[in-house]
Amino acid sequence: MPRTARDVVFVDGVRTPFGKAGPKGLYAQTRADDMVVRAIRELMRRNPSLPPERVDEVAVAATTQTGDQGLTIGRSAAVLAGLPKSVPGFAVDRMCAGAMTAVTTTGAGISFGSYDVAIAGGVEHMGRHPMGEGVDPNPRFLADKLVDPSALVMGSTAENLHDRFPGITKERADAYAVRSQRKVAEAYAAGRIQPDLVPTAVRSAEQGWGLATEDEPPRPGTTMESLAALKTPFRVHGNVTAGNAAGLNDGATACLLAAEDVARELGLAPRMRLVDFAFAGVEPEVMGVGPVPATEKLLARNALTMDDIGLIEINEAFAVQVLAFLEHFKIADDDARVNPWGGAIALGHPLASSGVRLMNQLSRLFEERTDVRFGLTTMCVGMGMGGTVLWENANWEGAK
């Protein structure tokens, strides 16, 4: 029988604090699957009116699907989290946009009527599973000159983007990074980041058991002078440094999606409504420009312009990637709509988990900014892609 599309809403989202990858990082002795299980359990705890058996699907993304990030992690995390065995799950991989794709895929299923309620998220333990671990790129990529060799090194693709946008200097990228660090520090001081952080058990050989309650990567004392002294590892006399790029991080995210009528039935308060989404491909050697065509496609399909967008959460894989997006759409580097509480340069970017972090922050901003109707979450993706999701504020005052 013909089906009518249903409105899909973002009800709630949580994440573990993000840690630095490596033997001294927060999660050096924590399993990746336990991190995402912690997030799923917190979602259920915070939404007691949702019967666990009403969850129809669990989609969890990981870029490196091996070890404790393997075994069809959506299903294994659902079982470990204590959801009924009747609740299925699956794994997703679209590199950095993994959690974003988990949301758009399950959201589309809800809209179609195949699901009523879904949990979507992502996890990346880059300390246990470095980016590219176990990857065996087909030699034809280079032999047939399908991509430039730099396409396989994310930092090199960022240097390529500087070449394509010569007006984006290292100083401009550093200035953006300093602002991101400052905005995160201000958001923390105002208590804006903490509500969606799940305290997570951690263990180290030196200190034994402890509790992670805040993000490890932020460097609130960052200055232009300190960034100017950093090395440019991807190119001699280049532009990309550890200071104007996201780091290597560990972390997990999860969010609760539902059909709007089902959310109301279950007493779940929507924060925002999923309007549409788009993914687009670009040349892999300049993968950072991916958000541009994805956003253009999305805006055109919905008869909107950037003037209609009141908030933009863009993943800060590299400062140059954000600045290229802003330059293309003629948005000022310090536009108040863009990452008002800072972004991944300060908070960290555990690859496949980051898409839901963007959504968490946008949904919280919507709660404060009832004057804003539309917002975007957007990000670049390795191997030359971009993804953008259009959201409508469920508490928009213009709807009243």
pLDDT in tens, 17-49: 999 999 999 999 999 999 999 999 999 999 999
Catalytic positions are 96, 349, 380
Percentage of the chain beyond pLDDT 90 is: 94
Nearest-5° Cα angle at 81, 79 to 85: 30
**Cβ-proximal residues to 42 (8 Å cutoff; 6+ apart), any chain:** 14, 198, 254
Q: What's the whole-number mean pLDDT along residues 166-182? A: 98
Domain ranges of the chain: 146-192+274-389
Q: Are 214 and 251 in contact (CB under 8 A)?
A: no
Task: Please say whether the structural domain 146-192+274-389 has been given the CATH code 3.40.50.1000.
Answer: no
User: Is the sign of the CA dihedral 148, 149, 153, 159 positive or negative?
Assistant: negative
Kindly report the number of other CB atoms within 10 A of residue 131's CB atom: 17
φ, ψ at 22 (rounded to 5°): 125, 170
Is the pLDDT confidence value at 15 over 70?
A: yes
pLDDT of residue 3: 65
pLDDT of residue 152: 87
pLDDT tens for each residue of 93-144: 999 999 999 999 999 999 999 999 999 999 999 999 998 888 899 999 989 9
| Whether the model pTM is above 0.75 | yes
Burial of 250-287, coded b for 16+ CB within 10 Å and e otherwise, reads bbbbbbbbbbbebbeebebebbbbbbbbbbbebebbbb
Count the helices and strands in the chain (H runs, E runs): 12, 12
Is the pLDDT confidence value at 1 over 70?
A: no
Rounded Cα distance between 101 and 93, Å, is 8
Kindly report the number of other CB atoms within 10 A of residue 370's CB atom: 15
**Cβ-proximal residues to 307 (8 Å cutoff; 6+ apart), any chain:** none
pLDDT of residue 26: 94
Q: What's the whole-number mean pLDDT along residues 309-324? A: 98
Is the pLDDT confidence value at 167 over 60?
A: yes
Q: What's the whole-number mean pLDDT along residues 393-400? A: 88
Q: What's the whole-number mean pLDDT along residues 256-277? A: 98
What pLDDT band is residue 160 in, cutting at 50, 70 and 90?
A: very high
pLDDT of residue 161: 97
Rounded Cα distance between 183 and 180, Å, is 5
Radius of gyration of the chain (CA): 20
User: Which among 183, 46, 68 is positioned nearest to 126, based on CA atoms?
Assistant: 68
pLDDT tens for each residue of 206-252: 778 999 999 999 999 999 999 999 999 999 999 999 999 999 999 99
User: Which among 117, 10, 144 is positioned nearest to 53, based on CA atoms?
Assistant: 117
pLDDT tens for each residue of 188-203: 999 999 999 999 999 8
Rounded Cα distance between 40 and 58, Å, is 9
pLDDT tens for each residue of 69-96: 999 999 999 999 999 999 999 999 999 9
Q: Are 75 and 90 in contact (CB under 8 A)?
A: yes
- End-to-end Cα separation, the chain, in angstroms: 34
What pLDDT band is residue 65 in, cutting at 50, 70 and 90?
A: very high
Rounded Cα distance between 102 and 119, Å, is 9
The two structure tokens encoding residue 164: 């394509």
Percentage of the chain beyond pLDDT 70 is: 99
